Structure 1
Amino acid sequence: MDNQFNTFSFRPVMADVIEQLNFYEPTAIQQQVIPAVLEGTSVIGQSVTGSGKTHAYLLPLLNGINTEKQEIQFVMTAPTRELAMQIYEEVRKIIDYAGMRGRWNAKLLVGGTDKQKSMEKLKRPPHIIVGTPGRILDLIKEEAISIFSASAFVIDEADLMLDLGFIHDVDQLLVRSKEGIQILAFSATIPQQLEQFYRKYLENPLHVKINDKLSPETLEHRLIPYKHREASDIILDISKAIQPYLAIIFANGKEAVDTLAASLQQKGLDVGIIHGGLSPRERKRMMKDIQNLRYQYIVATDLASRGIDIKGVSHVINAHLPKEEDFYIHRSGRTARAGMEGTVISLYRDRDIKLIEKLQQKGMTFTFWDVKNGEWKESKSWNERNRRKKTIDNIDSEAWKKVKKTKTVKPGYKKKMKKQQEEIKKQMKRKSNRKR
């Protein structure tokens, strides 16, 4: 098979790496980003999770390592330690495949690790540093490292950096970088604040926006009405109806996650928990347990939809729907990856209908279900129920129009008019039913 990566001007060592990675055809974002990075152009890349953006910057950057210079050449930042660790693992894999262990050096700098040990290891500057902005900034202030020599700076999941409040640290890092540094910023969305940040630092960047399908064909979206039930009761019923390899249950906020997880545990479901309130040690242990398939269900905040890569998710359950469409799309993106099938099951209330309508307008298809005693039952959609309510309301108002108004107001006239309206309404309903 002809390798389409050969069209890029990679060094022979990187061509070997690509072969060992079993990459043959660049993804849409790689097709546009790789040539720009090789040329030293700054890039704003916009695409959903799982589009291949990590290798879109890793391959061309590592292609340009200068082993003659023992200094920091590339800085790669991510908003969470888990994401930073994943990027670092990919860097190490490329170094191993290139046969450059000992010649290309990379260091992981994240919180929750011994800072003193990190400082010791940095006495000989690595070529690449991968880490969270806070820890990298901390080590610069301690004068353990300088990033002024770096020729490229990566901001991965930039919108999540903004959400989690780390964009100020990134700002502080860029202030300490040399003027004209190549900046490679990637995010799924570009909120206004992020646009302002980009304008401050990026001069004539290439803006690559990949309009990925809103939802892959292998992904099904099911909606279940709450109907005055508790989320944990419905989810317990869902658990009897599905056999997930791994299911992520999303709730809005740390407290909601803790409450829902406790309720599910009381009902006999063994669930893991992920949210920003866990200590580094707890989070590390939880991620290890998840990788070892200790849990079939994980209750999480939106941190798990963006900041952590969990493999093998077959089902996503929204105990609470998010307020914005983007968050629904990020959550859904945790399943049906790499051509696999997946199901998103969302519990909804009347207040969620606006969000559902917006997603439908964007082309997303929902099916309507309920679940009882571990069995799926097809349900009427919310707008069918609304149409029925509108019909009843229309008959109600039309019947009032036909009520004869009395010129003189006598005691009990309101009751008589109401009785008359009820009679007319009954007749109208009978006619309406005959027509059907």
Structure 2
Amino acid sequence: MKENRFDRFKFQPFIIEAINHFGFYEPTEIQERMIPLVLKEESAIGQSQTGTGKTLAFVLPILEKINTQRQEVQAVITAPTRELASQIYHQILKITEHCNPEQSIMTRCYIGGTDKQRTIEKLKVQPHIVVGTPGRINDLIADQALFVHTAGILVVDEADMMLDMGFIEDLDRVAARMPENLQMLVFSATIPEKLKPFLKKYMENPKTIQIEAKQKAAENLEHFLLPSRHRNKKQLVLDALLAYNPYLAIVFTNTKKMAEDVARFLNEKGLKVGRVHGDLNPRERKKMMKQIQDLEYQYIVATDLASRGIDIEGISHVINYELPSDLDFYIHRVGRTARAGNTGIALTIYELSDEDALNRLEKMGIQFKYVDLKKEGFVEADERNKRKTRVRQEDEADKLAKSIIKKPQKVKPGYKKKMQWEMDKIKKRQRRLNQKKK
């Protein structure tokens, strides 16, 4: 039997049993460094890229610390979206399934779009762990239905996204109702300046765990660039999806309106397409997520809500209909595929105006391959900067030839022609050298 390196954390048997059941044998770096801090009741900030296993980095030690003899709230876990909160909740349920029935850990999920009155009625018995969105948790506290003054742990997941979505005030109200010696665990891709006053208010000398990406995207992920060249981009997306015939593909747009436009176009062309964006009401979103998880769709069109807030299993292809303005979201988007050792393909349809963004992505370590779409499918294409490189090399060869061939002091008829012939010879030789280097 393979050695499980989680054993050294001395977790309770039900946690080890769950880890073995999932087939996890080696903690990720964020888990390796964060779990001991959580067990020692230290506050900490974890910065790591998507797909590094941060959820288990806080879920496992929190479950270890729950005292089932106390029927009160002991940990509050907050997330910026309903989908992400639901995802964390179901991850906890999968682990607590292995609990001894006499010592079961009660976890509840509180998110908008659910019947608030029914939730309040069920809160006559307080859960051990609360998972949810800050707004709904704060509402239940204000209604004196949920009591968090007994909870010693507060988790803030995707903190920068919390800031962007305007949830910091709700978080502040929740944290203010919790004990003074609160253990706060914050997870975020970045720590914006505007987030720092909130962190300083509740965290005294927190440990910071920063996991530098060894590379910005997964090893088994290929990045392709497809030039739009003034072609109809929606048609290009359709042709790309048909050429790939993916197991499950997600097409990213920057706006909800564009997501609807692209989805409508693909539907009209005969593809069954799921939509994930902020304009769906809670019931529609819940229904859509269930249909996606049940593999009713082969194609999904989404905004960046889905790149960080939702974990959709089995995505084989990611298509960027347009590049995000915040390039970190490129990493989050493509991080939806090539997970858990699987391979993945990320295709970006680019325009001339994307030149600067593509240069920055290349500096971040993304290595692009160039393709075009023909009737026969995908074909290799020239790099977008090939012409620039060629022009630059011609200029350099011209300068070199001019520096070598000087105008003679005594000129004879036809000297200009002879000089040009000599310069052309040097340029030709230089071109051959450049070709050899290439």
Scaled by the length of structure 2, the TM-score of the pair is: 0.88
CA distance, structure 2, for counterparts of residue 118 and residue 297 of structure 1? 34
CA distance, structure 2, for counterparts of residue 44 and residue 169 of structure 1? 20
The counterpart of 1:284, out of the listed 283, 286, 289, is 286
Which residue of the partner structure matches residue 43 of structure 1? 44
Deviates further, 127-136 or 46-55? 46-55
The count of residues paired between Structure 1 and Structure 2 equals: 411
CA distance, structure 1, for counterparts of residue 291 and residue 14 of structure 2? 37
Say which SS state the counterpart of residue 353 (structure 2) adopts. Answer: helix
Instruction: Give the 5 Å matches for 1:13-412.
Output: 13-100=14-101, 103-212=104-213, 213-388=215-390
Q: In structure 2, give the amino acid aligned to 1:31.
A: E
CA contact (8 A) 1:251 1:299 kept: yes
How has the CA–CA distance of structure 1 residues 365 and 116 changed in structure 2, closer, same or farther, with 3 Å as cutoff? same
Say which SS state the counterpart of residue 4 (structure 1) adopts. Answer: coil
Task: Supply the RMSD in Å over aligned alpha carbons.
Answer: 2.6
Q: In structure 2, give the amino acid aligned to 1:328.
A: Y
How has the CA–CA distance of structure 1 residues 428 and 267 changed in structure 2, closer, same or farther, with 3 Å as cutoff? farther
CA distance, structure 2, for counterparts of residue 192 and residue 389 of structure 1? 43
Residue 159 of structure 1 deviates from its aligned partner by 1.6
Q: In structure 2, give the amino acid aligned to 1:190.
A: I
For residues 267-307 of structure 1, the C-alpha deviation after alignment (integer angstroms, 9 at most, x for no partner) is 33221111011101111111111112121111110001001
Residue 175 of structure 1 deviates from its aligned partner by 1.5
Structure 1 portions without partners, runs of 5+: 398-424
Say which SS state the counterpart of residue 6 (structure 2) adopts. Answer: helix
CA contact (8 A) 1:324 1:355 kept: no
For residues 291-349 of structure 1, the C-alpha deviation after alignment (integer angstroms, 9 at most, x for no partner) is 12121111110001001111100000000011222111101100000110000000111
Q: In structure 1, give the amino acid aligned to 2:144.
A: E
CA distance, structure 1, for counterparts of residue 57 and residue 78 of structure 2? 15
Q: In structure 2, give the amino acid aligned to 1:307.
A: G
Deviates further, 135-144 or 231-240? 231-240
Say which SS state the counterpart of residue 97 (structure 2) adopts. Answer: helix
CA distance, structure 2, for counterparts of residue 162 and residue 374 of structure 1? 47
How has the CA–CA distance of structure 1 residues 363 and 111 changed in structure 2, closer, same or farther, with 3 Å as cutoff? same
Say which SS state the counterpart of residue 357 (structure 2) adopts. Answer: helix
Residue 36 of structure 1 deviates from its aligned partner by 0.5
How has the CA–CA distance of structure 1 residues 152 and 435 changed in structure 2, closer, same or farther, with 3 Å as cutoff? closer
Which residue of the partner structure matches residue 417 of structure 2? none
CA distance, structure 1, for counterparts of residue 195 and residue 314 of structure 2? 32
CA contact (8 A) 2:99 2:105 kept: no
Say which SS state the counterpart of residue 352 (structure 1) adopts. Answer: helix
CA contact (8 A) 1:274 1:286 kept: yes
CA distance, structure 1, for counterparts of residue 256 and residue 222 of structure 2? 27
CA contact (8 A) 1:395 1:428 kept: no
CA contact (8 A) 2:398 2:427 kept: no
Q: In structure 1, give the amino acid aligned to 2:330.
A: Y
Deviates further, 150-159 or 5-14? 5-14
How has the CA–CA distance of structure 1 residues 267 and 394 changed in structure 2, closer, same or farther, with 3 Å as cutoff? farther
Instruction: Give the 5 Å matches for 1:410-421.
Output: none
CA distance, structure 2, for counterparts of residue 107 and residue 323 of structure 1? 36
CA distance, structure 1, for counterparts of residue 264 and residue 129 of structure 2? 42
How has the CA–CA distance of structure 1 residues 58 and 101 changed in structure 2, closer, same or farther, with 3 Å as cutoff? farther
Say which SS state the counterpart of residue 145 (structure 2) adopts. Answer: coil
How has the CA–CA distance of structure 1 residues 192 and 428 changed in structure 2, closer, same or farther, with 3 Å as cutoff? farther
CA distance, structure 2, for counterparts of residue 7 and residue 180 of structure 1? 28
Say which SS state the counterpart of residue 371 (structure 2) adopts. Answer: strand
CA contact (8 A) 1:17 1:98 kept: no
CA distance, structure 2, for counterparts of residue 101 and residue 90 of structure 1? 21
Scaled by the length of structure 1, the TM-score of the pair is: 0.88
For residues 339-379 of structure 1, the C-alpha deviation after alignment (integer angstroms, 9 at most, x for no partner) is 10000000111221111111211222101111122511211
CA contact (8 A) 1:106 1:126 kept: yes
Q: In structure 1, give the amino acid aligned to 2:199.
A: Y
